[in-house]
């Protein structure tokens, strides 16, 4: 019997470089520079790991300049030193990814767009996003609107962006994905990268997968795949920006639900059921918002795998477990401050944003799990409601 | 914005009984008996829980006789008593599900088909499958062919069967699913029930879901749904026997892979990646064998949820973890005997059966994870190969 469906041909392009498809610069001496420059906007835990992955590849690939510039929100450490100075001296992000060498070609830069910070590394008048053909955004999502506003008119108009940020902005006119926010403010194309990516595990080079979601240009997706892929980090492109981005965003709401189940000591069947119901609500919600979203995206790393890793080990799960163990008597803000050493939960705010969308559109009854997570987070329902409300028959046919 | 796809209408049928669609019997006094009789063939851990679920429903539903007969492979306990006698006296399966009341209407019966065992409960000449309209098969899969042979000519020809059994028989002419084995030997229709169902958790009434796979008759599927559903056990029917059954079978191979990852201490990203790759190979393998298999089946409880619960807590995962921790130096047989108190692993034998199919059809390269699990189990590759071999690019497009 012959296979009933398509075999994928060997990908001969993976390490082939296509400089003519990428934006390029004319140098001061009049020569065309076909090499791309990469800047990472953000330097937290995941941003630092992303810089490490990228920096290992720019050294190897001829189509990229070696240097990877990383914009760092400047902080003064307890030692009195600036965070950027420490990163550039010891080649580690001592605060958010201690013990991991980023690569000597990662240059920390406190000046995002040459506003009010005097730049000390490199030529005067330079700043982090200047000359970058490829911009990697990886900050907490609540800072992105402000960052976008600061960057208007400061980035190359032929630059390509990619967002690693989870979350969305909910406005009067409806939800706005971060990739859309970037595209609309800066007038540039924006892809996304999401996946089962607990940063500290990738930092120590344990095998992971990720998904690049792109809009239409396959060659741009392949450029991002080359920039991020390593033998231990396998990246697959899919033509579904919204699907990939919504996976990364909504999985944190499912992780909160899974954490409640853990805190209630309900066992693995119940946890698996809640994760599955959550995944179905992710699919239904994504398809209702964007009819272009593909079912197959949810079988990629950004879908089912990220739901699994986030519900097994992530910080949303952990704090939600503590919340349920305390019977909802201690708030998420209090537990977050106590348990996360300054890192922020995305799931609680995403649950609120999703709830606003559901409420505004009259969809609350169609998404009992998403709605219930928010109601529990704000104290209107007890943690045990997560199971009781999920026992209802689904009201939406997803497929 | 209106929902872009179908809302499911409220199911008004769930508790409606449709006796005229079910097989019926003419009594000795000439009256038609519209009530169905249920027999459970098998009485291990899962079989006992299934009997408990069913027995709680036959008491409530008018279309069923109260009594649920459960065929027990007779054993003599350490006390000297027969297992069936103990079950019928204390209403618990003291060996395989101690501490859980099955319901007084569960009657243990050592006589499957009136062959050579003298029957002691009920009228002379009776036996477990006699008069049953609904037969529930739940035994270890390696016993099923023998049981089917014993039952030829002994079951009602209008009976409906359902299989809760994981595994397949691989023969010269190709793989044979257990539901097909039952249908072909007994000449009756056979549905399946699979899902994220660790038996001991359902026994203590923690919330779970399950999936009934049926061939064509929706009203039969609804009959099975009514028979198994409880407030804490939510059953959904899908018209895809092969898809549902292959999920239940193949997930044990994925659980072996996940156990190797745990034993190697690779972390959650890697485990999630291996589970995802395993799920994709499940889909690809099922669709290659049966073109009727639906993608959506893998989002049901039998698919992604069962993969999750089995990879988190099941016995295949547990023994595979020990195997990897020992660097493959102690065999699965040895570890199984030591760790499982007489329960049997399905994953290792299913991996061998799948490997035979792949090898016979020239598909080994298309399924690196499935192939590697078997090669590790038999000692041809070290446990670490599970990650190295999964890092390859997928060679099959699943969708």
H helix runs in B140-240, sequence order: 144-151, 178-186, 199-203, 218-228
Residue B27 pLDDT: 61
pLDDT at A58 over 60: yes
**Res A344 pLDDT > 90:** no
pLDDT for residue B60: 97
Interval B254-293: pLDDT, tens = 999 999 999 999 999 999 999 999 999 999 999 999 999 9
Mean pLDDT score, A232-243: 96
B-chain CB neighbours of A287 within 8 Å are 4-5
Burial (CB count <10 Å: 0-12, 13-18, 19+), residue B315: buried
ipTM over 0.95: no
Average pLDDT, chain B: 88
Compute the distance between CA of residue A2 and CA of residue A11 in angstroms, rounded to an integer: 22
Mean pLDDT of A119-129: 59
From A291, A390, A395, residue closest to B8, measured CB to CB: A395
B251 noted as active-site residue: yes
Q: Residue B95: is its pLDDT beyond 90?
A: yes
Q: According to the model, what pLDDT value does residue B15 have?
A: 45
Confidence of residue B115 (pLDDT cuts 50, 70, 90): low
Lowest mean pLDDT among A391-395, B229-233, B363-367: A391-395
Can you give the pLDDT at residue B118? Answer: 45
- Check pLDDT > 50 for residue A309: yes
> Does pLDDT of A27 surpass 70?
no
Which tens digits make up the pLDDT trace of A71-83? 999 999 999 999 9
What is the percent of chain B with per-residue pLDDT over 70, rounded to a whole number? 86
What does the block give as tokens for A90?
């010891």
What residues have CB less than 8 Å from B333, skipping those under 6 apart? Answer: none
Residue of chain A whose Cα is closest to the Cα of B393: A234
Residues 274-313 of chain B whose Cβ lies under 8 A from any Cβ of chain A: 275-276, 279-280, 283, 287-288, 291, 295-296, 298-301, 304-306, 308-309, 312-313
pLDDT in the model for residue A117: 44
* Among candidates B267, B305, B393 on the partner chain, residue whose Cβ is nearest the Cβ of A206: B267
Partner-chain contact A288 B393, CB within 8 Å: no
Distance CA B199, CA B138 (A): 12
Closest residue of B to A306, CA-based? B272
What's the confidence (pLDDT) of residue A135?
97
User: What's the gap in Å between the CA of A312 and the closest CA on chain B?
Assistant: 7
Nearest CA in chain A to B283: A299
Q: What is the mean pLDDT of chain A?
A: 88
Least-confidence region, from A113-127, A305-319, B35-49, B250-264:
A113-127
Q: What is the per-residue pLDDT across A180-226, written as a single tens digit (0 to 9) for each?
A: 999 999 999 999 999 999 999 999 999 999 999 999 999 999 999 99
Strand, coil or helix: A59: coil
| Range of weakest confidence among A48-62, A293-307, B118-132 | B118-132
List A residues 27-66 in contact with B (Cβ-Cβ < 8 A): none
A146 touches chain B (CB under 8 A): no
- In this structure, is the dihedral angle defined by the CA atoms of residues A367, A372, A373 and A374, taken in order, positive or negative? positive
B341 touches chain A (CB under 8 A): no
**Per-residue b/e over B194-206, b at no fewer than 16 CB within 10 Å?**
bbbbbbbbbbeeb
**To probe the interface with B, which of A14, A208, A269, A289 has the most B CB atoms within 10 Å?**
A269
Give per-residue pLDDT as tens, B134-175. 999 999 888 999 999 999 999 999 999 999 998 887 776 778
- Mutation choice for A interface testing from B226, B272, B312, B316 by most A CBs within 10 A: B272
**What is the mean pLDDT of the segment spanning B207-219?**
96
* Local confidence band at A141 (pLDDT 50, 70, 90 cut-offs): confident
End-to-end CA distance of chain A: 29
Are A177 and A242 a contacting pair, CB within 8 Å? yes
Q: Residues A96-111: what's their mean pLDDT?
A: 96
- CB–CB of B290/B244 below 8 Å? no
- A-contacting residues of B 214-273, CB under 8 Å? 231-232, 234, 266-273
| pLDDT (0 to 100) of residue B122 | 42
Looking at beta carbons, which residues of chain A come within 8 Å of B231? 391
Q: What is the pLDDT of residue A29?
A: 66
Residue B354 vs residues A398, B179, B286, B317: alpha-carbon distances, Å: 31, 17, 11, 18
Which pLDDT does position A8 carry in this prediction? 52
> How far, rounded to the nearest angstrom, does the alpha carbon of residue A61 sit from its chain's CA centroid?
24
Given its phi and psi angles, is residue A58 left (phi above 0), alpha (psi -120 to 50 degrees) or beta? alpha
Write out chain B residues lying below 8 Å of A238, CB-based: none
Instruction: Mutate one of A272, A283, A315, A384 to test the B interface: name it (highest B CB count within 10 A).
Output: A272
Phi and psi of B141, rounded to 5°? -70, -25
Q: Which of A110-124, B24-38, B279-293 has the highest mean pLDDT?
A: B279-293
* Contact assessment for residue B226 and residue B205, using Cβ atoms and an 8 Å cutoff: no
Contact (CB<8Å) A387/B207: yes
B8, B207, B391 member nearest A394 (Cβ): B8
Active-site residue (options: A251, A271, A287, A318): A251
Asked if the model's pLDDT at residue A390 lies above 90, the reply is no
In this complex, the residue of B269, B366, B396 whose CB is nearest that of residue A208 is B269
Between strands B189-194 and B208-213, the pairing is antiparallel
């Amino acid at each position: 019997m012959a296979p009933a469906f398509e075999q994928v041909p060997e990908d001969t392009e993976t390490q082939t470089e296509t400089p003519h498809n990428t934006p390029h610069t004319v140098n001061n001496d009049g020569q065309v520079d076909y090499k791309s420059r990469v800047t990472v906007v953000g330097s937290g835990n995941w941003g630092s790991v992303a810089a490490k992955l990228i920096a290992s590849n720019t050294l190897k690939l001829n189509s990229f300049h070696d240097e990877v510039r990383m914009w760092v929100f400047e902080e003064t450490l307890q030692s009195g030193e600036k965070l950027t100075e420490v990163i550039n001296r010891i080649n580690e992000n001592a605060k958010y990814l201690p013990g991991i060498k980023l690569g000597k070609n990662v240059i920390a830069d406190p000046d995002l767009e040459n506003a009010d910070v005097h730049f000390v590394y490199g030529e005067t008048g330079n700043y982090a996003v200047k000359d970058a053909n490829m911009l990697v955004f990886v900050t907490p999502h609540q800072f992105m609107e402000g960052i976008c506003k600061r960057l208007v008119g400061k980035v190359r108009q032929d630059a390509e962006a990619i967002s690693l940020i989870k979350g969305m902005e909910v406005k009067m006119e409806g939800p706005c994905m971060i990739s859309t926010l970037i595209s609309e403010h800066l007038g540039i194309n924006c892809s996304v990268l999401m996946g089962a990516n607990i940063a500290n595990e990738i930092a120590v080079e344990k095998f992971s997968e990720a998904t690049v979601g792109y809009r239409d240009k396959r060659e741009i997706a392949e450029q991002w795949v080359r920039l991020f892929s390593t033998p231990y980090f396998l990246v697959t492109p899919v033509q579904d920006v919204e699907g990939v981005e919504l996976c990364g965003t909504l999985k944190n709401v499912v992780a909160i639900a899974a954490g409640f189940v853990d805190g209630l000591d309900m066992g693995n069947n119940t946890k698996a059921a809640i994760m599955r119901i959550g995944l179905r609500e992710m699919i239904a919600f994504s398809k209702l918002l964007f009819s272009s979203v593909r079912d197959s995206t949810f079988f990629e790393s950004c879908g089912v795998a990220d739901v699994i890793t986030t519900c097994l080990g992530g910080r949303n799960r952990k704090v939600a477990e503590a919340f349920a163990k305390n019977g909802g008597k201690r708030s998420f803000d209090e537990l977050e401050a106590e348990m996360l050493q300054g890192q922020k939960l995305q799931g609680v705010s995403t649950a609120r944003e999703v709830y606003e969308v559901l409420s505004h559109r009259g969809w609350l009854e169609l998404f009992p799990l998403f709605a219930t997570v928010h109601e529990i987070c704000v104290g209107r329902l007890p943690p045990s409601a997560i199971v009781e409300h999920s026992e209802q028959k689904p009201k939406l046919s997803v497929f």
